[in-house]
């Protein structure tokens, strides 16, 4: 039985974006001091005669019409809202109840109590509800920042005027981290596009489509030309998928935060579980047939428009095979600076990988005879990919676990699950595990034996990872599992004698001035794969370790740390581009600190700063080359020494 999971993918796609606050009502907010720790917040609006603004103190469909939210639990509302303005009453057919609402000006007052230090300004969110007739918009947010009389000024320091990363003391380091990695992502997308050709929703279409072009065209040259346009339009459609990411006006950290956003990672965990179950054959993920039907109807048109819609039809009917791969590519691309261009490069590679074979076989139609025939092997490929989807789902759950520090998936548990998935894959390929309604005869071909050996080797390699031994380091996959310190063991063997960075820049600055050492800043993240690779492969190198321990004050700043800042440090910050940004969590602070001072939002990024807060070098990004990182550290150390000379 077919099931349409288009709503699931739509939710996944839409969750990547934030389109700002609702503008149906314009609000102003002010405050009035009642006592040392009690204030009254005053919200006022001119109203909107097109809508009904529901008065506070009501519940519609069990949803409060009005609510105040604060990031810090030390701030609590006292009493209820007091409203002034012309209140109207009406019997609502939608809620089958009498409702109270405003259409004109309204003022709402709410008392609050602050149990700790009173900040100079207070950030919060007013959730209000409006609607009319059968339209209903609950929990509409208005984010505000209001000054509090007598509050303590914030001590949060973001922009440091003395740091000019464009004019370091010495110019060693990376030229432009934002431009790195595009070619690698292109080839990853290319490989993913070629891989998707092997699935049963696409593979049988290759000979049919090529034959259609060659037979429909007036001559061979025309057929090849049409096939070329067909492949080009496939490429173009996938590139166009990345266009919204370029048009959205968002802060650069937002794309980076996608990879560490806890709700989004949990959503991906659920969706990839759904993908895996689908690949196991229990249901099929497809777009509604009407979507493919409309595209297919236009594909019969003669000229390039018809060929374009033929390409669009292929993209639509291959949805069930390509969406899991595309979902993975979107997440992996949109997690660093210049993410929109990285996604474009990935999608371009995917489109070429998917579309180029159609052009190739049109140029050399005899090659079609060498293609293997469709059969059960394609279904087995889907099932194997389903196991890979399960492994990816575990990775997304691990990302959320690391950010929140739940300790649901310590390193050994994570690797134990991957070992179980690898073992299940081997047993499936050997014919021991079967899925519902699957009857197949296992043919022991060289290719099957190769993949059984491959997955067996991978599983055997992973197995020591659950032990507390030197063999548990698993350097080949460093970065994918949780760090070796995130362990079920009280004293993990592989964390002995490691560099232990500080976690606060101000503390590092104090020590640097006391010891007259440069500061090595490590911008990192709990769910950053390349950060773990650096820490587990480059930092333990003896020369690197000695330099970091003896010659630098090392500080690791986690840009995805969700711990709330003290209320007196929560601020509304105006960036150097003029945008307003709320600094609420530790991660907000360090991510903004990185982008404002070092013009980047990707991790890992390393910076060397003098005790008087000047950039000694350009920044350094990810590298697995010990010598390269060592030379950069020595360059920064030499810059510090030369700067001390009169």
Tokens of 619: 């920044």
Helix (H, G, I), strand (E, B) or coil at 262: helix
List beta partners, residue 91. 98
Pick from 61, 24, 6: nearest CA to 141:
24
Please confirm whether the linkage preceding 604 is cis (ω < 30° from 0).
yes
Reported as a single tens digit per residue, the pLDDT across 66-107 is 999 987 788 999 989 999 999 999 888 888 889 999 989 999
pLDDT at 356: 79
CA 448, 452, 454, 455 torsion: positive or negative? positive
Measure the CA–CA gap between 222 and 216, rounded to whole angstroms.
Answer: 9
- Give pLDDT < 70 ranges for the chain: 1-23, 175-182, 184, 197-220, 223, 245, 247-260, 283-303, 314, 316-339, 362-378, 436-440, 496-497, 644-646
Strand ranges for 419-534 from DSSP E: 519-524
Helix (H, G, I), strand (E, B) or coil at 2: coil
Alpha-carbon dihedral angle through residues 449, 455, 458, 460, given to the nearest 10 degrees: -80
Instruction: Count the neighbouring beta carbons within 10 Å of the beta carbon of residue 38.
Output: 14
Tokens of 614: 């000047």
pLDDT at 318: 62
CB of 33 within 8 A of CB of 148?
yes
Q: Count the alpha carbons within 13 Å of 634 in the hemisphere toward its beta carbon.
A: 9
pLDDT at 600: 80
Tokens of 140: 């509409």
CB of 351 within 8 A of CB of 359?
no
CB of 384 within 8 A of CB of 447?
no
pLDDT at 532: 86
Residue 211 CA, distance from chain mean position: 41
CB of 264 within 8 A of CB of 15?
yes
CA distances from 561 to 68, 362, 525, 585, 600 (A): 24, 53, 7, 7, 18
The angle at the Cα of 272, spanning 271 to 275, to the nearest 5 degrees, equals 90
Tokens of 400: 């959320």
Q: Which long-range contacts (CB under 8 A, 24 or more apart) does 239-244 make?
A: 239/344, 239/347, 239/348, 239/351, 241/326, 241/347, 242/340, 242/343, 242/344, 242/346, 242/347, 244/17
The angle at the Cα of 373, spanning 429 to 221, to the nearest 5 degrees, equals 140
The three-state DSSP-derived secondary structure of 57-122 is CCEECCEECCEEECCCCCEEEEEEEEEEECCEEEEECCCCEEEEEECCCEEEEEEEEECCCCECEE
Strand ranges for 311-442 from DSSP E: none
- Give the DSSP letter of residue 488: S
CB of 40 within 8 A of CB of 32?
yes
Measure the CA–CA gap between 449 and 443, rounded to whole angstroms.
Answer: 10
Q: Which CATH number is 498-644's, of 3.40.50.10860, 3.90.550.10, 3.40.30.10, 3.40.50.720?
A: 3.40.30.10
CB of 508 within 8 A of CB of 502?
yes
Tokens of 611: 């005790």
**Segment holding 635, helix H or strand E:** helix 626-644
CB of 347 within 8 A of CB of 288?
no
Helix (H, G, I), strand (E, B) or coil at 137: strand
pLDDT at 240: 84
CB of 136 within 8 A of CB of 94?
yes
**Segment holding 335, helix H or strand E:** none
The angle at the Cα of 491, spanning 489 to 497, to the nearest 5 degrees, equals 140
Measure the CA–CA gap between 352 and 342, rounded to whole angstroms.
Answer: 16
Q: Which residue has the tokens 């079920």?
A: 488
The angle at the Cα of 296, spanning 295 to 302, to the nearest 5 degrees, equals 100
Query: What number of H helices and E strands is found in the chain?
Result: 19, 17
Domain residue spans of the chain: 27-147, 197-373, 498-644
Q: Which residue has the tokens 């004698």?
A: 497
Q: In this structure, what are the phi and psi dihedrals at residue 408, rounded to the nearest 5 degrees? A: -75, -35
Tokens of 250: 């968002």
Tokens of 299: 């594909």
Q: Which CATH number is 27-147's, of 2.170.140, 2.60.40, 2.60.120, 1.10.357?
A: 2.60.40
Reported as a single tens digit per residue, the pLDDT across 484-512 is 888 888 878 777 667 889 999 999 999 99
The angle, 0 to 180 degrees and rounded to 10, between the axes of the packed helices 6-14 and 319-333 is: 10
**Segment holding 31, helix H or strand E:** strand 27-33
pLDDT at 420: 96
């Amino acid at each position: 039985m077919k099931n349409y999971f288009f709503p699931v993918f739509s939710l996944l796609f839409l969750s990547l974006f934030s389109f700002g606050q609702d503008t149906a009502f314009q609000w102003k907010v002010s405050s009035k001091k009642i006592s040392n720790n009690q204030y009254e917040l005053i919200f006022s609006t001119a109203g909107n005669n097109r809508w009904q603004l529901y008065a506070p103190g009501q519940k519609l469909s069990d949803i409060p019409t009005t609510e105040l939210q604060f990031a810090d639990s030390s701030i609590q509302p006292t009493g209820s809202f007091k409203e002034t303005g012309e209140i109207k009453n009406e019997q609502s057919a939608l809620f089958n109840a009498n409702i109270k609402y405003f259409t004109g000006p309204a003022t709402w007052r709410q008392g609050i109590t602050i149990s700790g230090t009173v900040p100079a300004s207070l950030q919060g969110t007013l959730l209000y509800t409006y609607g009319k007739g059968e339209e209903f918009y609950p929990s509409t947010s208005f984010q505000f920042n209001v000054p509090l009389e007598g509050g303590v000024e914030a001590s949060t320091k973001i922009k440091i005027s003395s740091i000019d990363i464009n004019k370091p003391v010495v110019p060693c380091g990376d030229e432009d981290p934002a431009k790195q990695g595009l070619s690698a992502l292109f080839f990853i997308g290319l490989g993913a596009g070629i891989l998707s050709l092997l699935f049963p929703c696409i593979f049988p279409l290759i000979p049919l489509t090529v034959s259609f072009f060659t037979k429909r065209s007036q001559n061979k040259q025309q057929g090849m030309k049409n096939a070329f346009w067909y492949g080009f339009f496939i490429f173009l459609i996938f590139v166009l998928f990345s266009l919204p990411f370029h048009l959205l006006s968002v802060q650069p950290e937002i794309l980076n935060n996608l990879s560490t956003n806890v709700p989004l990672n949990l959503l991906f965990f659920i969706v990839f579980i759904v993908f895996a179950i689908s690949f196991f054959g229990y249901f099929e993920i497809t777009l509604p047939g009407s979507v493919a039907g409309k595209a297919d109807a236009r594909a019969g048109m003669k000229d390039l428009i018809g060929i374009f819609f033929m390409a669009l039809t292929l993209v639509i009917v291959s949805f069930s095979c390509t969406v899991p791969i595309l979902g993975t590519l979107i997440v992996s691309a949109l997690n660093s600076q210049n993410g929109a261009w990285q996604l474009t490069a990935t999608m371009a590679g995917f489109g070429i990988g998917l579309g180029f074979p159609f052009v190739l076989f049109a140029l050399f139609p005899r090659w079609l005879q060498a293609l293997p025939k469709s059969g059960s092997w394609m279904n087995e490929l889907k099932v194997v990919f389903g196991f890979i989807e399960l492994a990816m789902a575990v990775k997304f759950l691990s990302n959320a676990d690391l950010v929140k520090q739940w300790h649901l998936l310590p390193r050994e548990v994570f690797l134990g699950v991957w070992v179980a998935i690898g073992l299940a894959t081997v047993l499936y390929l050997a014919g021991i595990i079967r899925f519902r309604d699957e009857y197949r005869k296992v043919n022991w071909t060289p290719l099957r034996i190769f993949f059984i050996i491959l997955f067996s080797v991978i599983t055997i390699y992973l197995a020591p990872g659950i032990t507390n031994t030197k063999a548990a380091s698993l350097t080949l996959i460093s970065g994918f599992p949780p760090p070796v310190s995130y362990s079920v063991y009280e004293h993990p063997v592989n964390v002995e004698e490691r560099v232990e960075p500080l976690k606060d820049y101000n503390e590092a600055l104090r020590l640097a001035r006391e010891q007259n050492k440069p500061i090595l800043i490590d911008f990192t993240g709990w769910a950053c794969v390349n950060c773990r690779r650096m820490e587990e492969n480059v930092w333990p190198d003896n020369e690197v370790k000695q330099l970091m321990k003896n010659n630098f004050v090392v500080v690791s700043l986690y840009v995805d740390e969700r711990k709330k800042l003290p209320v007196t440090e929560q601020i509304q910050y105006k960036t150097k581009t003029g945008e307003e940004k709320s600094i609420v969590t530790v991660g907000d602070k360090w991510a903004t600190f990185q982008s404002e001072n070092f013009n980047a939002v990707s991790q890992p990024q390393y910076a060397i700063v003098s005790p008087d807060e000047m950039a000694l070098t350009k920044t350094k990004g990810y590298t697995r080359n010990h010598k390269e990182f060592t030379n950069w550290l020595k360059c920064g150390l030499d810059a510090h020494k030369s700067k001390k000379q009169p």
